[in-house]
């Protein structure tokens, strides 16, 4: 059989599955198998799976805030246009799938019965690269996603920078991976009272 014939036969078998949850799980399995042989598999968007919303958790460090009017607009957008962007997640063995970017897109599904019904209680999810799964890289990835849009909570940003420093990340690492410049990081330290914590670090001469 040709690949085209095999594809049509596979599609017919999937179409014959009457249980919706099972059908979605099979489709996820097929997508994952195709992703494994894709020349684009190094891009997370190459594999988008429909994951049960209850199996996806938020993170405690997202500094992006969406005001109520914008959240309502986001819900309306998904209700009318469907999901056009997946939720970005990471998966570690034995732990729940957690959100790197897309908390409010997932919140929309949890808030709107219309969205929940249309997705059978699932959300579209991509998975970050294995190389980005450690805590510091996940935080940096979340902020990179956010900085291109939305607003940030300064207190949460302060906490994130403090945690990154506790992980041993240098000022240069933070500047490179979060997209700050030295002056911005310096202002954040001054505003947050972190200067004392970092007094022995690279930019200490500028604020002592």
Same domain, 83 and 115: yes
Question: Has residue 150 got a pLDDT over 60?
Answer: no
What is the pLDDT of the chain when averaged over all its residues?
Answer: 80
Is residue 152 classed exposed, middle or buried when 0-12, 13-18 and 19+ CB atoms within 10 A define those classes? middle
Question: Has residue 207 got a pLDDT over 50?
Answer: no
Lowest mean pLDDT among 13-27, 51-65, 89-103, 175-189: 175-189
**CATH number assigned to the domain comprising residue 84:** 3.90.1530.10
Same domain, 75 and 33: no
Flag whether the pTM goes above 0.85: no
Same domain, 106 and 89: yes
Same domain, 79 and 108: yes
The domain of 111 spans: 41-152
Same domain, 25 and 58: no
Greater confidence, 142 or 106?
106
Same domain, 198 and 140: no
Same domain, 135 and 175: no
Same domain, 146 and 179: no
* pLDDT in the model for residue 208: 39
Q: Which of 18-27, 66-75, 188-197 is modeled with the greatest confidence?
A: 18-27
Same domain, 145 and 157: no
The domain tally of the chain equals 3
Same domain, 134 and 90: yes
């Amino acid at each position: 059989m040709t690949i085209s014939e095999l594809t049509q036969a596979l599609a017919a078998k999937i179409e014959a599955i009457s249980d919706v949850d099972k059908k979605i799980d099979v489709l996820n399995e097929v997508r994952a198998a195709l992703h494994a042989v894709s020349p684009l598999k190094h891009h997370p968007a190459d594999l988008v799976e429909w994951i049960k919303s209850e199996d996806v958790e938020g993170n405690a460090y997202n500094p992006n805030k969406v005001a109520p009017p914008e959240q309502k607009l986001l819900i309306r957008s998904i209700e009318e246009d469907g999901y056009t962007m997946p939720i970005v997640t990471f998966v570690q063995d034995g732990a729940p799938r957690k959100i790197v970017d897309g908390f409010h897109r997932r919140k929309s599904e949890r808030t709107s019965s219309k969205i929940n019904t249309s997705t059978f209680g699932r959300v579209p999810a991509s998975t970050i690269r294995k190389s980005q799964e450690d805590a510091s890289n996940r935080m940096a990835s979340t902020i990179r996603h956010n900085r291109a849009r939305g607003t940030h909570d300064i207190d949460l940003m302060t906490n994130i920078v403090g945690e990154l420093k506790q992980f041993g990340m240098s000022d240069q690492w933070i500047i490179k991976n979060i997209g700050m410049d030295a002056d911005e990081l310096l202002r954040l330290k001054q505003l947050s009272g972190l200067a004392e914590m970092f007094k022995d670090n690279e930019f200490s001469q500028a604020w002592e």
